[in-house]
Structure formats: C-alpha cells, structure tokens
Amino acid sequence: MTWNLAKLRHRPKPNKKLINMILYPDNAIVMAPLSGYTDLPYRRSLRRYDCYYAFTEMIDAGSLAYNNPNAAKMLTRGDDEPWLAVQLLGADVEMLKKATLKLNQYNFDLLDFNLGCPVAKVAKKGAGAMLGRNIDQAAKLLAMIVKLSRFPVTVKTRIFSETEVESTIKLAQALENAGAQTLTLHGRVKEKFYSGDVFYDTIAAVREAIKIPIIVNGGINSRYTYENALSQSGCSAAMIARGAMGNPWLFDEIQNPQFIPPTVDALADETERHVEEMLEFHGEASGFKLARKIILDYLRGRGYSGELRAKISFLNNRQDLLEIISVIRNGPSERYWQNVSHERQLTR
C-alpha cells in the first residue's frame, strides 16, 4: 500500500469544535491501542495489510505529565502513517490536565480516554475500567479533557454487567453528555478481561439509547467474527485488539473476499521485517527483548515446536534471530499440516 506522503505531512489540524463528527466511516476496522504492542514498528506491520485506523500504545497520564522519555517515544508518529490516534489513561485530575495539554503539541487525529482497561495495576489507581464504574467522576474527567483537547475526544470502555443493560446505558449517556464524539464498547465485563462470551446484545441496546456512534469491540479474530459482531451489535464499525496479535493479515482477511492465508515464507518474511524495524526503532538492547513476545505471537497456533518457542525466549542477538527465522521458514510439523487438511475437509 502506498500513501501520499505530501498530503500526510500537510494534514489539516483537528478541530475539536466540530459537533457530531463522523470519525469512522461505515465498515471501518480500527486497531486498538495495546500497551506494550502498538508502537511504530507494530503499526507499520499492520499497515502493510490494509490497516488504516490505528492507535499508539495506551499512554499513562502521569508518565506523560512527568516527561517520562519512554512516553515521548511511544507517541512517535511515522511520516508514512495516514491516520493515528492516541489513548490516554488516568484518574488524577491534575495529571490528566497536564497530559492533555502536552498531547496538544503532537499531531493526532483524535484522543481517546480509556475507561476499560481491567488490569490490576490500573485498577489500583482507580483508572481504566474501575473509573468507568464511577460514572459521575468518569464523566467529569472526560468533560475536562474535551474542554482542554484540540483533538476530537472519544472513549473506550466496557459493559457493566452480563445480566442487565441499564447501568451500561447510564454510563454511555453520561459520556455522551460530557462530550464524547464516539464510544467504543467492549462486550465483556471487567472481571472477564479478554475471555468468555461477548455480549453484543448489550452493545446493541446501548447503541439504540444514545446518538453518538458506537464501535463494537471484543472477540474479533476472523472475517466471520467481524461480520458476526457487526450483525449482532448493529454497529457500523469495529475495533480489533488481541485478534491481530501475530496476525496482521487479519485486516486483509476481513476486507478482501479473495484473501489467501500467508504461506510459511510470508510468515517468516513478515516476522523478520517486523523485528528488524523494532531493532531500528528501539535499539538492539531493548529491541531483542521486546521482539521475543512479538515472534511468539506470530507462531502461536501455527504448529511450531515448543523447542523453537523456548529458543525465542532467549533471543539476544542477530545470529539467534537468523536461526529462528530459518526454522520458521522450514515450516511447522507434518502433523500440523495433516490437522489443517482434516479441518478443511470438515468445513466443506
């Protein structure tokens, strides 16, 4: 895919004063902000397979407010990126205020406020999904961010309950009234993290109760699950998260009816290119350590041996990388291919 770089370098500045903006068109597929993953090399890998709407990693407000150098690196936008958003996490008024003002110095297409992260270290700070359950405070903080941000402001959150919808609707209405332009709703409760059933019916009920667009999120890892999520929720756009980990081809699969899964060589080539770009971006000392989980994601579910996965866990240099890529290129076990052939016959 080729982007018009001249246009990219001269983008009009976002105007937060526009009301009821269409931030995502129908059938948009958005890559979620993933902490520890969606850095510039990760996004470039996704964009090679038709990902247009993408986020930086989730940014902690305190880290940004205190000028943590890692936060600044996480906000790096490539000249070749056509569209990029940032997501802010926090619950402290002053930290959020300072962080929002700092983000105004960058070039993003929108700012998202995280009210859905379920991890323990976030919950202890009263942020993420924990803040999402404090409706009045969440709305108050969002209104402040909307007032200060030069970008359109959106929210990503979760459903409140698996058994009733009123509480989730109440949260959505409060966020809409506080100035959210769009709401991304994950169809699992905080306690379920990223597993279990996704309650698309709750998302559908929320969509009917508010005027701003709803982006469906949760459980999307194939063209079938994408179409099912849109159908059951009634939403016109979806956000992908963990389903794209190790599978940048997912964006092509969803958008291309003639999609052909990657060959072993294509898998090896993309894995190697992704890691090389990580080494260039992060430096070799950090890059090799960060690359371990990325390579393991590429191999997950693809039939490679436990011995190879163990070797990846100790990746430290280019010789190790060359050996790993060579093994990947040789392909998974014969038993794996036999299982794949059997599954294809069953689905005919």
- Residue-wise pLDDT for 29-82, tens only, equals 999 999 999 999 999 999 999 999 999 999 999 999 998 888 889 999 999 999
pLDDT (0 to 100) of residue 336: 55
112 bridge partner residues: 87, 154
Task: Say what the pLDDT of residue 15 is.
Answer: 43
CA 67, 74, 236, 116 torsion-angle sign: negative
Q: Is the dihedral of CA 66, 40, 6, 87 positive or negative?
A: negative
pTM of model > 0.85:
yes
Q: Give the model's pLDDT for residue 45.
A: 98
Residue 149, both tokens: 């941000």
Q: Which residues contact 23 (CB under 8 A, 6 or more apart)?
A: 109, 110, 152, 154, 181, 182, 213
Mean pLDDT by 10 residues, the chain (348 residues): 36 43 89 96 98 97 90 93 97 97 96 92 90 95 98 95 92 97 92 79 96 96 96 96 96 95 96 98 96 97 92 95 96 59 40
Alpha carbon distances (Å) from 249 to 34, 93, 222, 256, 298: 17, 40, 10, 10, 11
In the chain, DSSP finds a helix count (H) and a strand count (E) of 17, 8
Neighbours of 156 (CB within 10 A): 28
Cβ-proximal residues to 19 (8 Å cutoff; 6+ apart), any chain? none
